């Protein structure tokens, strides 16, 4: 380990094998009988060429993403000097060497290659080098890398979202996901994927916390899931369910090949932190896409139309859009309540698809809701609009008041007659006779009244 040292990758831009190939081609082109020269022993095979003992590092090309074993041009000069010193002849400088622009900016480990065995050993690390660079490119939102992932049609894109307590971020309140199995859909001749029919999705709320822990700065709406039925689960089992869902999409871990699973989120770093706190295992070869970062890179590179901020000024290239603003910028009238983990995951995956391939995508329809109101605390006037679909045992329970404090308990009325000011329809009366099930409820802010949504039935592909 005494010869172990690191170098900056700048200046290491000559593909080692291409140097040998360029000289062999040069000799043929100019009819040089290298095999009759004393220095010709260095060109009989690539293994003989390596006996010079070339210093190398491994990098990926910034333009193509391909991995390379590279050396410096100064090493080529040292090789030419060695031929002149030992054999009395001067080799010409060739111009057919493949030059690469290193994508990596961190220091790289220098190795010295003097035989074929060492070269094969270093060459065997190239797939891992490529995977590491691909993960970095995807996470940084590089458009070309993400567009190539989409175009391959062999990945599973899994969008996730957590909602947690403002007082203790480790206390998870909700988790939602939406997944698109591109390989399955492409094989079935279903392309482009249709969100309503081809996104597998789900929404889970933690039973011990729902309607008990209330966020004040940014309220959440656990009962407003618009694309299916919310499932109430215990805090103890929550991590097991998430782990099972992620494992159902992921391929085995590998140091050389990317996973079939691509994890997607908006502001993904916080969701990854929740996964880590819950000790949920994510294969190391999973690629990550943050839609906020991806959209920002698209805008900065001129691949999105010009935008203005709320003050009317042109949008800065370094600015980041919220998920709601991102959806609106794509021309989509958001059909659901945001800050519900299931809805956010669904909209996040939809936003990714619209950024990559908007043609032929039909907007998903929402499940029906019931318009009603809850009075403000201390006031007889109607207050915050909500959309409950209560079952008999839920009528009058788990309704949050406006003065519910940050992280505190919800206000639960004892009677419902003063709160639900709407005569149930015949269809709703039939629902009230059904067995007790968890149904959607949400509390909307005063500044964001809910509008009536179209009804529809979502069909989920396996």
Cα-trace Rg, the chain? 30
pLDDT at 300: 93
Each residue of 123-179: pLDDT tens digit? Answer: 999 999 999 999 999 999 999 999 999 999 999 999 999 999 999 999 999 999 999
pLDDT at 164: 95
**Mean pLDDT, residues 346-356 taken together:** 97
Domain spans of the chain, in order of start:
6-124, 138-356
Superfamily of domain 138-356: Ribonuclease H-like superfamily/Ribonuclease H (3.30.420.10)
pLDDT at 3: 65
Each residue of 265-311: pLDDT tens digit? Answer: 999 999 999 999 999 999 999 999 999 999 999 999 999 998 887 78
Q: What is the pTM of this model?
A: 0.77
Each residue of 273-282: pLDDT tens digit? Answer: 999 999 999 9
């Amino acid at each position: 380990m005494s010869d172990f040292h690191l170098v900056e990758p700048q200046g290491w831009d000559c593909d080692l094998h291409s140097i040998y190939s360029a000289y062999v081609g040069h000799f043929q082109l100019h009819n040089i009988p290298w095999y009759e020269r004393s220095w010709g022993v260095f060109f009989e095979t690539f293994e003989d060429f390596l006996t010079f003992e070339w210093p190398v590092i491994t990098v990926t090309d910034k333009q193509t993403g391909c991995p390379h074993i590279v050396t410096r041009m100064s090493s080529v000069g040292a090789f030419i000097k060695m031929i002149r010193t030992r054999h009395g002849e001067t080799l010409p400088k060739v111009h057919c060497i493949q030059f690469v622009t290193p994508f990596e900016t961190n220091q790289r480990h220098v190795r010295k290659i003097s035989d074929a065995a060492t070269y094969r050993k270093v060459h065997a690390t190239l797939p891992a080098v490529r995977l590491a660079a691909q993960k970095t490119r995807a996470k940084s939102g590089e458009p070309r890398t993400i567009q190539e992932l989409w175009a391959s049609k062999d990945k599973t894109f899994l969008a996730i979202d957590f909602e947690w307590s403002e007082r203790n971020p480790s206390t998870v309140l909700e988790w939602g996901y939406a997944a698109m199995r591109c390989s399955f859909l492409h094989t079935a001749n279903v392309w482009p994927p249709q969100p309503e029919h081809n996104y597998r999705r789900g929404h889970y709320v933690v039973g011990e916390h729902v309607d008990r822990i209330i966020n004040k700065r940014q309220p959440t709406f656990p009962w407003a899931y618009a694309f299916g039925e919310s499932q109430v689960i215990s805090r103890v089992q929550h991590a097991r369910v998430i782990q099972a869902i992620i494992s159902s999409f992921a391929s085995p871990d590998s140091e050389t090949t990317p996973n079939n699973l691509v994890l997607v989120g908006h502001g993904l770093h916080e969701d990854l932190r929740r996964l880590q706190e819950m000790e949920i295992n994510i294969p190391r070869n999973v690629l990550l896409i943050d839609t906020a970062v991806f959209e920002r890179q698209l805008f900065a590179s001129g691949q999105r139309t010009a935008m203005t901020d709320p003050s009317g000024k042109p949008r800065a290239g370094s600015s980041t859009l919220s998920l709601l603003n991102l959806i609106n910028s794509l021309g989509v009238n958001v059909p659901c309540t945001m800050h519900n983990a299931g809805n956010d995951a669904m909209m996040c995956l939809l936003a990714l698809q619209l950024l990559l391939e908007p043609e032929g995508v039909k907007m998903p329809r929402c499940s029906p809701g019931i318009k009603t109101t809850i009075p403000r605390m201390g006031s007889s006037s109607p207050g915050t609009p909500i959309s409950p679909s209560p079952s008999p045992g839920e009528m009058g329970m788990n309704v949050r008041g406006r003065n519910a404090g940050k992280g505190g308990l919800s206000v639960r009325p004892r009677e419902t007659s003063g709160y639900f000011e709407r005569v149930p329809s015949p269809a709703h009366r039939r629902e009230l006779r059904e067995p007790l099930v968890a149904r959607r409820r949400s509390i909307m802010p005063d500044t964001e009244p809910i509008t009536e949504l179209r009804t529809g039935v979502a069909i989920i592909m396996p």
